Structure 1
Amino acid sequence: MSATLAATGFGLLAKERTIARPGFNRWLVPPAALAIHLCIGMAYGFSVFWLPLSKAVGITAPLACPADMGFFAQVFATGCDWKISMLGWMYTLFFVFLGCSAAIWGGWLERAGPRKAGVVAALCWCGGLVISALGVYLHQIWMLWLGSGVIGGIGLGLGYISPVSTLIKWFPDRRGMATGMAIMGFGGGAMIGAPLADKLMNAFATPTSVGVWETFLCLAAIYFVFMMAGALGYRVPPPDWKPAGWTPPPAAQKSMVTQRHVHLDKAWRTPQFWLVWGVLCLNVTAGIGIIGMASPLLQEVFAGKLIGVDASFNELDAAQKTQIAAVAAGFTGLLSLFNIAGRFFWASLSDKLGRKLTYSIFFLLGCGLYAAIPTTAAAGSLALFVIFFCVILSMYGGGFATVPAYLADMFGTRMVGAIHGRLLTAWATAGILGPVIVNYIREYQLEQGVARADAYTVTMYILAGLLVLGFICNGLVKPVAEQHYMSDEELADEKRQADDTHQHFVDDVEVLAKEATHSGKVLLAWAAVWIPLGWGIWITLQKTAALFG
């Protein structure tokens, strides 16, 4: 059977074909993971399509649907434009299906291997873009929801967790740094995709098209190449592999780091899982609500001060509002940079501080910063305001990148990808809670006659309170009880079920560790991901310059 599969090409996706051979360099795996994460990270940048899509029929200006047309009629209507609020449902679908697909198929990923999961992720994410392109061409918004929102969301979930378990196994000595390198790509995907999409839409725009469906097809082709290259570049180490010269630290009583393993079916029933679920949910809820409102928040709080005018937001004319919008775009770009940098910085630092202490810093420092923001805004200190939010966003990204290593420390590396998949339901929950808290409290404040500059004060105190709850959850995390670990017999049986023994590779473990070299392949692999990422960072820095201009 395996020979037949290999002959037909499907053998390339078989788990046993991903076992690293002697001489393989583990530093080839992070760029493979980055290649996938940089593509699916465009989910954060989809708002670049909202304005063009809102005038896909009218071309120069939105063509509104009749006032008496119902919601479902608008979904299938071809003669009038979509509202941005309808398009915004894509964000909800993205992160709900990301969390659900990661939870449902995380166990399958552990059995099938990262390569097969990466290929499926590429097919779903890029196939979803193709369906969305057809939806734009036919002007059927339900096809965008189904294509990118549902099918693409499934691709997001599988692509997001596909490298986690593999990277942790390749870097047992630096778990946080390894996952931080990959997951920072998800934060950086929009920095590449959004300006690229903008340039493509301008190039494809005609008197009869806003250029979106053509852009979707181009992005699908580009992303498919990168994601397939990343998926085929995945390799997993042989069983019991260790880096040359590295010895696992001795197990200590009550240590938060275990060398044993907990099965997925038991892990998600432990109090530790749900405490870490609460830790991630509360950290993300506070951060994600701010990300969505960063631009209007800065504009409404500082208003004319951003351009040297002593005036509130409502007192500015249209030209001045355009000016401060450009400044706010720079603020949003700066937050993106700190979101990305924080994923690598904090995850790497957690290797030295420990995951529990790192999260304690997130919550204590974050709580203080959120609570101080209203005072900073009232004092008119733009520099401190920006610095506080940059640190907050670095910890938001750091929370995502550190949590896989936190799980591996407590539950072992054997099924950490599947456990991480279940945990991402916390992200889906936070994706709903965060924007709801920020947006609805702001609207209520404005309805009560509160000035725009003060409409976020209560919100900041509420978010600070959420971080206090997160600190409590993190403080309650203890080592996993002895009865939850798999016995040697259960572990061996689980390996047999997953077809993961591969005894013919075990003899090469020491050779693999010694023969790995920093070859030209490593430089080429890293260049392939850092060149586009560097371009995205450069574009973002140019926009950020307006904030300090």
Structure 2
Amino acid sequence: MSQAAAGGNMLFSRMSLQDGCRDKQGLLSTIMTYYSHTEYQPTREQVERNRFVFFGLIRCRPWMVVPAGILIQFCYGSVYAWSIFNGPINQLMSADPSKGSAEVTFYIALGVLGLTGAVCGPWIEMNHPRKSGIIGLVVFFAGHLTSALAVHVRMMSLLYFGYGLVAGIGLGIGYVSTIDAVSKWWPRARGTASGCAVMGFGGGSLAFSALNKWLLDHTDLPLAFLILGSLNFAIMLVSVQFISPPPPGHNPDGVVVVDEGDRWQHTQPNALHAVAEKPSVGGGGALQVALAPRRQTLSVSLAEALRSRDYWLLYVAFLSNIVFCLVVLSNLPRLIDNLFGMGRKDPREPPMPAYIAVSIEGAFNMLGRVLVGVLSDALGRKAVFLLLLAVQMVVLVFVPVAIRADNFWAFLGLIWAATVCYGGGFGMIPAFLAEMFGVNNTSSCHGILLTAWSLASIGGGLAFTGIVNRFLAHGGHAYDERIYTVNLAWMLALVIVGFVCCLFVRASIRDRMFPALPNQILRLRVFGRVLRVLAVRNDHSRGSGGAPPTGGCRLRMRVIELEYLTRAEEQAAWEEYLALRAVQHRLMSEHTQC
């Protein structure tokens, strides 16, 4: 090869490498830009149009979005009644019905739901909720049509694609957009509003369990999917016409740091409206602190929120709260049959038909979403979330006891108690995120958090099924209680981890911003007050007769001290910190002007 040709090849390789780096950098920049702009900014004309709903014929009122959101979530909640289809689909399409191939469809759908929420969260936030709502319901309907075709031609892979992937994408878009749109209309009662909206999702299991059973008794599987898809499509298409975003200024512009009733407002009635750039919230970044006369807020970027350790601690706590019931939701009929019904060693009719138990479970799921949302408004998000995890720990300890005692009603009662906690976590989490990171980041943070739903449904479901299949492959029986004891043991360990993580979540922006001392090791809020753990240096001298050391040795030791601040001490330290931030901002402004 000539030198010119070799040089040309080297130049071409260098140019290709540079182009590849630029392409990679451009892709990364595009992703960062996409996750940096998460605010819906309508024009004046769009704001005027948003004041009317239902094709511009009715003036929008805040209460209208609640029943509309409930109906939309009710239709999406039909996914929770999937377990009614497992048996008939396995009998029709699986070579070995005992392997539970149809159950995988449920895991895929919820897994795709979470991933879709994470990917589409910023886009949902930046657009009108009716736009994303319509796209979600159309895709969900397409998933039902594909599922009808799949069971007609008896292709399990097509069913996974249709209901698992396609309908799962529709679920992710519609779920996030509807709940966040409803909660934004009620800034003073976000937990109640989001709980009411998510209540519909739990109610879907209650109603569609009975409807699915009726359809299976009176028609075949393909027609059942067509009827379900068409019914959901019609209800959601009408309901989404009542979904509209609130007007600008309806929500606080950021995270509320000091509310109207706080003593700061009384001691500083004419507080300077200032902007202090780059205070640290769990790892630095660009923030804005607004010291307003009536309401003090702090604007957190999405990047800040996602870098915060508190977000990921909450992620683990949320994941821990939903694994157990997700597995039970998709396997409850089989559990009842194997432990208390015809699948037992001594077959018998269960005290309650499985489909009725699933329907009642849906009722508790629905009740938990509203009840826990209301409680979180009154008692605080973190305290209620810790209570949910504590109840789940108790349930997981006593479920094996109920199985060994062959006590059907104790077993069901424990399952229903855990279901209240499961639904409650979904009901309060949008409000929790809005208060921690701001309403403009809710859809994005909520969408990414729902990937925990994906991990729980896919990972938890496959782990449960894998343990069951392993026992069966080694000569075990489906009624063997050891199968369920092993599964419940790893679930209990996960819930304990989630409880510990939730303890360390700094739920309020004040806790995340509270000034740390140089010798501080840890800071927690215990019973509403700040507890600091400090490593204080203490010099111990050793000389002859205890005299001051002339030739003796000096020992430097660190002593652990606990400092439990009173509310007055905490408030004084907080006000001093805010005053320092205001002074820093003023000095920076003067320096910039000079």
Tell me the TM-score normalized by structure 2: 0.65
5+ residue gaps, structure 2, are 1-42, 253-257, 265-280, 282-294, 515-580, 582-594
Q: In 2, Cα distance between the equivalents of 1:54 and 1:295?
A: 14
Shift of 1:151: 1.7
The answer to whether the aligner puts 1:222 opposite 2:248 as a matched pair is no
Tell me, in whole angstroms, the C-alpha distance in 2 between the residues paired with 1:403 and 1:452: 37
Written as runs of structure 1 = structure 2, the 5 A alignment for 1:240-251 is 240-241=249-250, 249-250=260-261
2:245 maps to 236
1:284 corresponds, among 318, 322, 325, to: 322
Tell me how many residue pairs correspond in the alignment. 431
Tell whether the 8 Å contact from 1:370 to 1:464 is kept in structure 2 after alignment: yes
Among 22, 37, 47, the residue aligned to 2:73: 37
Letter in 1 for 2:345: N
Q: CA deviation at 1:419?
A: 1.2
- In structure 2, the CA distance between the partners of 1:294 and 1:139, relative to structure 1 (3 Å rule), is closer
Looking at secondary structure, tell me which structure has more helix per residue.
1
Relative to 1, partners in 2 of residues 1:237 and 1:269: Cα closer, same or farther, differing over 3 Å?
same
State whether structure 2 residue 197 is matched by structure 1 residue 171: no
* 8 Å contact kept, 1:261–1:414: no
3-state secondary structure, aligned to 2:345:
helix
Per mean C-alpha deviation after superposition, the further-off stretch among 89-98 and 325-334 is 325-334
CA shift for structure 1 position 465:
1.9
Residues 261 and 412, structure 1, Cα contact 8 Å, conserved in 2: yes
Cα offset, 1:40, TM superposition: 1.4
Query: What letter corresponds to residue 239 of structure 2 in structure 1?
Result: G
Alignment deviations for residues 426-482 of structure 1 (CA, whole Å, 9 cap, x no partner):
110011232234333345556476972343223333322221111111011114445
- Following superposition of structure 1 onto structure 2, how do residues 5-404 of structure 1 map, counting pairs within 5 Å? 17-19=49-51, 24-54=60-90, 85-203=100-218, 205=219, 211-241=220-250, 249-250=260-261, 259-302=297-340, 313-316=344-347, 320=348, 323-324=349-350, 326-404=352-430
**Cα distance between partner residues in 2 of 1:436 and 1:366:** 21
Instruction: Give yes or no for contact 1:278–1:473 (8 Å, CA) kept in 2.
Output: yes
Shift of 1:83: 8.9
1:248 CA displacement = 5.4
Structure 1 residue 380: Cα displacement: 4.6
Q: Say whether 1:440 aligns with 2:466.
A: yes
CA displacement 1:182-222 (0-9 Å, x = unmatched): 1121122133234334434444x4xxxxx222232222222
Displacement of 1:412 in angstroms is 1.2
Q: Distance in 1 between matches of 2:230 and 2:377?
A: 37
How far has the Cα of 1:228 moved from its partner?
1.3
Which one-letter code corresponds to 1:282 in the other structure? S
**Unaligned stretches of 5+ residues in structure 1:** 1-10, 57-61, 66-81, 206-210, 305-311, 488-549
Root-mean-square deviation (Å): 3.5
Residue type of the alignment partner of 2:370: F
Aligned equivalents of 2:113 and 2:462: distance in 1? Answer: 19
Shift of 1:116: 0.4
- CA separation in 1, counterparts of 2:332 and 2:499? 24
Q: How far 1:30 sits from its partner (Å)?
A: 1.1
Determine the structure 1 residue equivalent to 2:555.
none
By how many angstroms is 1:303 displaced? 5.6
Cα drift, residue 47 of structure 1 = 3.4
Distance in 1 separating the partners of 2:222 and 2:406: 44
1:20-63 Cα offsets, whole Å, 9 max, x none, are 5996421110111112111111112233334444565xxxxx79
SS in 2 for 1:36: helix
Query: Could you say if the C-alpha distance between residues 41 and 16 of structure 1 is closer, same or farther in structure 2, counting changes exceeding 3 Å?
Result: farther
Structure 2: distance between partners of 1:103 and 1:260: 24
Q: Secondary structure at the match of 2:298?
A: coil
Q: Residues 197 and 448 (structure 1 numbering): CA distance in 2 closer, same or farther, change over 3 Å? A: closer
- For the residues of structure 2 that align with 1:458 and 1:252, how far apart are their CA atoms? 52
- Deviation of the 1:339 alpha carbon: 1.4
- Match of 1:467, as an amino acid? V
1:404-443 alignment to 2 at 5 Å?
404-443=430-469
Percent identity for Structure 1 against Structure 2: 28
- Kept in 1, the 8 Å contact 2:118–2:451? The answer is yes
Tell me if the contact between 1:124 and 1:152 (Cα under 8 Å) persists in the aligned partners.
yes
Q: Distance in 2 between matches of 1:444 and 1:467?
A: 24
Cα distance change on mapping 1:406 and 1:201 into 2, 3 Å: same
> Structure 1 pair 219/455, CA: closer, same or farther in 2 (3 Å)?
closer
Does 39-48 or 375-384 show the bigger shift? 375-384
* Cα distance, 1:174–1:384 mapped onto 2, change above 3 Å: same
Determine the C-alpha separation between the residues in 1 that align with 2:395 and 2:156. Answer: 40
Q: Which structure has the larger Rg?
A: 2
CA distance in 1, matches of 2:169, 2:73: 14
Amino acid at match of 2:49: R
Residues 135 and 457 of structure 1: CA distance in aligned 2, closer, same or farther (over 3 Å): closer
Q: Distance in 1 between matches of 2:261 and 2:52?
A: 27
2:432 is paired with a residue whose SS is helix
CA separation in 1, counterparts of 2:360 and 2:223? 30
Q: Which one has more relative contact order, counting CA pairs under 8 Å at least 6 apart?
A: 1
- The answer as to whether partners of 2:142 and 2:167 remain within 8 angstroms in 1 is yes
**Contact between 1:136 and 1:144, CA under 8 Å: does it hold in 2?**
yes
Pair 1:454–1:252, CA change in 2 (3 A): farther
Q: CA deviation at 1:300?
A: 4.3
Asked if the contact 2:107–2:461 (Cα under 8 Å) also holds between the matched residues in 1, the reply is no
What is the CA-CA distance between 1:166 and the residue it aligns to? 2.0
User: Which letter does structure 1 place at the counterpart of 2:316?
Assistant: G
SS of match in other structure, 1:260: strand
Q: Judging changes above 3 Å, is the alpha-carbon distance between structure 1 residues 460 and 409 closer, same or farther for their aligned structure 2 residues?
A: same
Counterpart CA distance in 2 for 1:15 and 1:36 is 24
1: CA distance between counterparts of 2:399 and 2:229?
41
In the alignment, the residues of structure 1 paired with residue 168 and residue 446 of structure 2 have an alpha-carbon distance, to the nearest angstrom, of 17
The alignment partner of 2:66 has SS state of helix
Q: 1:392 corresponds to which letter in structure 2?
A: A
Separation in structure 2 between the aligned mates of residue 467 and residue 141 of structure 1, nearest angstrom: 33
Question: Paired residue for 2:29?
Answer: none
